[in-house]
């Protein structure tokens, strides 16, 4: 571990920084993709116009109305925890308030669990392509990242997990996104979930289940959360950000009760408390009883957007021969969540493509390399399309722009190679 | 570094936890001290009835009113940063928006700066008695804590700092609370500030200035913030929690611009963003122009409460001989902030006293050992009285109860020794 010096002009002093601070790639993307006129599939945001602004304004009025307690420090909201228990029941999970720990969004849940479970140098098991917020946490923590194969069709290679554990690997934990995988879009079936939970139990290795998209299923019946298969070794991460109000930064984890005390200590030193105002606002909103209808509206709209994106991809990247897949471009068919994963032939560098796509065609996405758990070349010729925050006509237009950008990009690469 | 096993009944599995997770003492205190009928001086909370609930409700209505952007992800609020620049000017600091970094309360500012600047095993310089939120961060981070003497009369022993640096110590940083010290109540004079800033500059050691109480001065003119004496080596931590709305968890740090990028990366993996809703709410409130009058009301009320507490202490612990100090009990005379520090003779263990005080007399405080930077016996016969969230009559009654509890406690100790 070395120190990084920030070099300035000779007159300017140097700061000694601890190593392990990486740039957050998505923040730059957010800024570039947010430019006027750009159709952005870059960020996993819920649809702004579908957020329940009016009902939340009523809840805010109720919470605020002249009550100074609304602005004061406070203990975690039992009322909100009780609503979380109800949400967990929708995911097939039977849990108690005493197992619910409120966090400043699911991202903080990941950071706290990593601080709780991972020492510098410990191994952690990830899919080779995974949500970058988790791998950033782990690299900063000094974990050694082991990866197993994954795909946008089958998801995590559970037999590779079994082999690693059978061979003696004892990672601090395994992190998975079983529903609406970020970025691959794949959702794991019941049997794979059962097998993962059994492996966690057998080898006493915790599995962190990131279920931020679990309530956004586009099928009639969704697989129950992994947590429903084991309550001792599956730790659940949930979030209000994808379903209700990203601006409040409230999420939760469900863990065995004996982990509440050390998590409380870590939370205390991280930020004292999850904003009690946001907790009260969410509890008041959920008390209002509008949530089920809101969720149904969001799922219906996102299903339509998913369909619009798949249709546009079919149109612009048709199969060569009556339905066989396109020779250069393949994509996933998500049944849950917000993401389509698009893979191209290996001569396409999606990061280069992104710059060109924004400049020439005013369309944006997340390049695959962002999601490479261990860095390296995984995902360099793939990209993630987030469809939830774009209307169907914008999706059609954005995919047309993407197709033009890719068409323009490939000849240049052919010349260069 | 060793692993801690959480031992359960034999049927229950063990979790391997990373070391360095300590209990947060104040959370238990909060729960015990919050019982009905207890007069609590335990927690550094602003006065609930003085929080600007009505004006904040108006701001919430404005932010929420049917605008779904209020609930969406967003970049840090430039509007709020501009208000922070104005607040800094009140503290004598000339800074730019580009130097302001918004945090989930000042506590997160401490955690992020520790993650940025401290590697495991690095030395950090603290006063021997200091805010426990900082020492919890540092112990969890694996820092080695060096201490210098301090007192509730003079504050940090700046010559001890100078000697340590001259002798070769190069801590990752020095943390200080120059205004309304937590827990000692002392405020540093201008010359001490100038000397500290000069030492930071000379030895290129950053000073983290925690100025959460800086705007709560009870004098006509307050010393300018330490940051006003050096903008390269003093990093400033500010908070809206003590002056406006703890429930929103919004604070800020002011750092040189080249530290914004690595802080952004650390913030991203910690919790993505400071709740944008809370940012918008504060910005809307501050736009409203009520803040100056609110702050004046709070300062006036807290000054009155400080006076009530000092008067009650004089009454119950009078000097032996016409104004000479009490033989057993001494206390600080704060000119800023929320705390009186009370020191007793060494046979009094304030943690034992706390249990008795709550059970027998229904009065609570923070025992001094909470604030011992390096653990050990520092502060064991002292305690912190937070006066801001109790009305003057409750302060008078609470100090009377405390005097009775101490009177009951001392004979027992005499017997035991």
A86 by Cβ neighbours in 10 Å (0-12 / 13-18 / 19+) ranks as exposed
Which of A57-66, A130-139, B235-244 shows the lowest mean pLDDT across its residues?
A57-66
The radius of gyration of chain B from alpha carbons, rounded to an integer in Å, stands at: 22
**Nearest Cα to B176, choosing from B188, B162, B164?**
B188
> How far apart are the C-alpha atoms of B133 and B137, rounded to whole Å?
6
pTM: 0.93
Measured between CB atoms, which of B19, B122, B248 is closest to A277?
B248
Q: What is the pLDDT of residues B54-67, one digit of tens each?
A: 999 999 989 988 67
Residue with tokens 């794991």: A188
Q: What is the pLDDT of residues B293-312, one digit of tens each?
A: 999 999 999 999 999 999 99
Tokens standing for B313? 């202490």
Shortest CA gap B396–chain A (Å): 23
Evaluate whether the domain defined by B24-51+293-416 bears CATH number 3.90.1150.10. yes
Percentage of residues of chain A with pLDDT beyond 70: 91
Can you tell me the mean pLDDT for B167-185? Answer: 98
Length of chain B: 417
**Nearest Cα to A183, choosing from A245, A250, A131, A249?**
A131
Question: Quick check: A23 and B261 CB within 8 A?
Answer: yes
Measured between CB atoms, which of B69, B115, B273 is closest to A48?
B69
Can you tell me the mean pLDDT for A45-53? Answer: 94
Evaluate whether the domain defined by B53-287 bears CATH number 3.40.640.10. yes
Tokens standing for A7? 């070099």
> Residue B16 — very low, low, confident or very high, per pLDDT cuts 50/70/90?
confident
Nearest CA in chain A to B64: A57
Residue with tokens 């149109």: A315
A410 by Cβ neighbours in 10 Å (0-12 / 13-18 / 19+) ranks as middle
Return the pLDDT at A32. Answer: 74
Q: Right CATH number for A21-51+293-416 from 3.90.1150.10, 3.30.310.50, 1.10.260.40, 3.40.710.10?
A: 3.90.1150.10
**CA–CA–CA angle B317, B319, B324 (5° rounding):** 145
Measured between CB atoms, which of B68, B137, B265 is closest to A53?
B68
Assess whether pLDDT exceeds 50 at residue A8.
Answer: no
Q: What is the pLDDT of residues A76-90, one digit of tens each?
A: 999 999 999 999 999
Nearest CA in chain B to A272: B107
All structural domains of chain B with their residue ranges: 24-51+293-416, 53-287
Return the pLDDT at A64. Answer: 82
Chain A residues touching B73 at Cβ < 8 A: 30, 43, 45, 241, 246-247
Assess whether pLDDT exceeds 90 at residue A278.
Answer: yes
Question: For residue A385, what are the β-bridge partners?
Answer: A340
Q: What is the pLDDT of residues A285-324, one digit of tens each?
A: 999 999 999 999 999 999 999 999 999 999 999 876 555 6
Return the pLDDT at A66. Answer: 63
- DSSP state letter for B217: B
What ipTM did this prediction achieve?
Answer: 0.92
In SS3 terms, chain A reads as: CCCEECCCCCCCCCCEECCCCCCCHHHHHHHHHCCCCCEECCCCCCCHHHCCHHHHHHHHHHHHCCCHHHHCCCCCCHHHHHHHHHHHHHCCCCCCHHHEEEECHHHHHHHHHHHHHCCCCCEEEEECECCHHHHHHHHHHCCEEEEECCCCCCCCCHHHHHHHHHCCCCCCCEEECCCCCCCCCCCCCHHHHHHHHHHHHHHCCCEEEECCCCCCECCCCCCCCHHHHCCCCEEEEEECCCCCCHHHCCEEEECCHHHHHHHHHHHHHHHCCCCHHHHHHHHHHHHCCCHHHHHHHHHHHHHHHHHHHHHHHHHHCCCCCCCCCCCCCEECCCCECCEEEEECCCCCCHHHHHHHHHHHHCEECEEHHHHECCCCCCCCCEEEEECCCCCHHHHHHHHHHHHHHHHHHHHHHHHHC
The answer to whether the CB of A102 falls within 8 A of the CB of A76 is yes
| Beta pairing, strands B4-5 & A144-148 | unpaired
* Coil vs helix vs strand at B372: strand
Element (DSSP H or E) covering residue B141: helix B132-141
Q: How many CB atoms lie within 10 A of CB B347?
A: 13
Residue with tokens 């197993």: A148
Chain B residues touching A105 at Cβ < 8 A: 271-272
Measured between CB atoms, which of B67, B118, B259 is closest to A15?
B259
Can you tell me the mean pLDDT for B26-48? Answer: 83
More confident residue, B17 or A338: A338
> How far apart are the C-alpha atoms of B64 and B54, rounded to whole Å?
15
Assess whether pLDDT exceeds 50 at residue A198.
Answer: yes
Nearest CA in chain A to B256: A15
> How far apart are the C-alpha atoms of B318 and A77, rounded to whole Å?
44
Return the pLDDT at B183. Answer: 98
The answer to whether the CB of A365 falls within 8 A of the CB of A402 is yes
A184: cis peptide before it, omega within 30°?
Answer: no
Distance from chain centroid for Cα A240: 12
Chain B residues touching A50 at Cβ < 8 A: 68
Quote the mean pLDDT of chain A: 91
The answer to whether the CB of A177 falls within 8 A of the CB of A49 is no
**Nearest Cα to B265, choosing from A111, A123, A99?**
A111
């Amino acid at each position: 571990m070395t120190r990084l010096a920030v070099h300035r002009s000779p007159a300017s002093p140097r700061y000694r920084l601890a190593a392990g601070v990486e740039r957050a790639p998505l923040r730059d993307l957010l800024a570039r993709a947010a430019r006027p006129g750009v159709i952005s599939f870059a960020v996993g945001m819920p649809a702004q116009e579908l957020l329940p602004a009016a009902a939340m304004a009523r809840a805010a009025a109720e919470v605020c109305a002249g009550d100074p307690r609304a602005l004061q420090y406070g203990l975690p909201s039992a009322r909100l925890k009780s609503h979380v228990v109800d949400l967990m029941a929708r995911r097939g999970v039977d849990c108690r308030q005493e197992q619910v720990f409120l966090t400043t969004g699911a991202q903080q849940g990941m950071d706290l669990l990593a601080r709780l479970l991972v020492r510098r140098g410990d191994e952690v098991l990830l899919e080779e392509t995974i949500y970058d917020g988790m791998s950033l946490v782990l690299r900063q923590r000094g974990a050694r990242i082991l990866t197993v194969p994954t795909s946008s069709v089958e998801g995590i290679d559970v037999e590779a997990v079994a082999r690693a554990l059978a061979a003696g690997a004892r990672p601090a934990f395994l992190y998975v996104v079983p529903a609406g995988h970020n970025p691959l879009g794949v959702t794991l079936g019941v049997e794979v979930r059962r097998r993962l939970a059994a492996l966690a139990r057998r080898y006493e290795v915790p599995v962190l289940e990131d279920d931020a998209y679990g309530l956004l299923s586009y099928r009639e019946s969704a697989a129950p959360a992994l947590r429903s298969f084991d309550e001792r070794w599956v730790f659940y991460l949930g979030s209000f950000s994808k379903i209700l109000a990203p601006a409040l930064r409230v999420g939760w984890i469900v863990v065995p009760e004996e982990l509440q005390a050390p998590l409380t200590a870590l939370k205390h030193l991280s930020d004292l408390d999850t904003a009690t105002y946001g907790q009260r606002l969410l509890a008041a909103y959920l008390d209002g009883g509008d949530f089920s209808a809101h969720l149904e509206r969001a799922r219906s709209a996102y299903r339509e957007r998913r369909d619009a994106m798949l249709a546009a991809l079919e149109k612009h990247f048709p199969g060569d021969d009556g339905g066989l897949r396109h020779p250069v471009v393949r994509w996933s068919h998500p049944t849950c969540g917000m993401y389509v994963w698009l893979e191209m032939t290996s001569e396409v560098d999606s990061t280069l493509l992104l710059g060109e796509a924004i400049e020439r065609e005013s369309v944006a996405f997340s390049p695959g390399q962002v999601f490479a758990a261990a860095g390296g070349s995984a995902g360099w010729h793939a990209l993630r399309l987030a469809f939830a925050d774009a209307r169907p006509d914008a999706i059609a237009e954005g995919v047309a722009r993407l197709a033009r950008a890719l068409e323009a990009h490939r000849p240049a690469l052919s010349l260069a190679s």
